Amino acid sequence: MKFYPLFLNLKDRSVLLVGAGEIGLQKIRALLECQARIHVVSPDALPDIQALAKEERIRWSMRGYETADLEGVVVTIAATDDRALQERIAAECRRRKILVNIVDVPPLCDFYAASVVSRGDVQIAISTGGAAPALAKYLRQKVETVLAPEMAELVRLVQGLRPAVLQLPKEKRSSLWNAIVSDAFLEQIKREGSERAEAQIKKWIEDRA
């Protein structure tokens, strides 16, 4: 079965995480990068998770899961090995139309966490539909070797100059994008730095205005 790939905006959205072990910590770190509001429910937690709670970067309820924890939540992730609890959380989330991921239990999941390669705002997500996580990890490592770090800086530069680019006639925009999105320009960013690369884009825009 095919799954619909998407990138979910979780900024300032409530996410419930049940479980506070190593896998839970991995999920928290990824969710913090998305600026989600994270509520962790677990009787105990790793020291790193406790520290995040003390810093008020997450909220930790030092107890077991309760149905009321789902109030206002848009996504739930369960990182627990308790099968009965897994099934309960999945069923209660579905009744409330809340997306749920039960870690390592594909039949109970509405979505799977992809293996991700990131370069700033550039993200490539790889999934095997939950069937072969090791293969997804292998492919991620392959992609990491070819995805240039300069791509993050390229996105940052283009984001700031995009309004000026959109003012150009369509045919001139096309030639500009061909110049910007190229191995040669990525190499220029790497060789000369961001300031000179930004100046180059501005010159290209002026030449086409």
Query: pLDDT tens, 191-204?
Result: 999 999 999 999 99
pLDDT at 185: 94
Residue 203, C-beta contacts closer than 8 angstroms, at least 6 positions apart: none
Over residues 101-117, mean pLDDT: 92
pLDDT value at 171 more than 90 = no
Any idea which fold 114-147 has?
A: Double Stranded RNA Binding Domain (3.30.160)
CB contact at 8 A, 186 and 192: no
Q: For residue 19, what are its two tokens?
A: 């479980």
Continuous segment of H or E residues that includes residue 25? helix 22-33
Superfamily of domain 1-112: NAD(P)-binding Rossmann-like Domain (3.40.50.720)
pTM over 0.85: no
Instruction: Collect all residues with Cβ–Cβ distance below 8 Å to 58 and sequence separation of at least 6.
Output: 28, 32, 38, 39, 40, 49, 52
Beta bridge partners of 40: 17, 60
The pLDDT-based confidence of 148 (bands split at 50, 70, 90) is confident
Backbone angles phi, psi at 119, to 5 degrees: -130, 85
Report CA 36 to chain centroid distance, whole Å. Answer: 11
Q: What is the pLDDT of residues 56-96, one digit of tens each?
A: 999 999 999 999 999 999 999 999 999 999 999 999 999 99
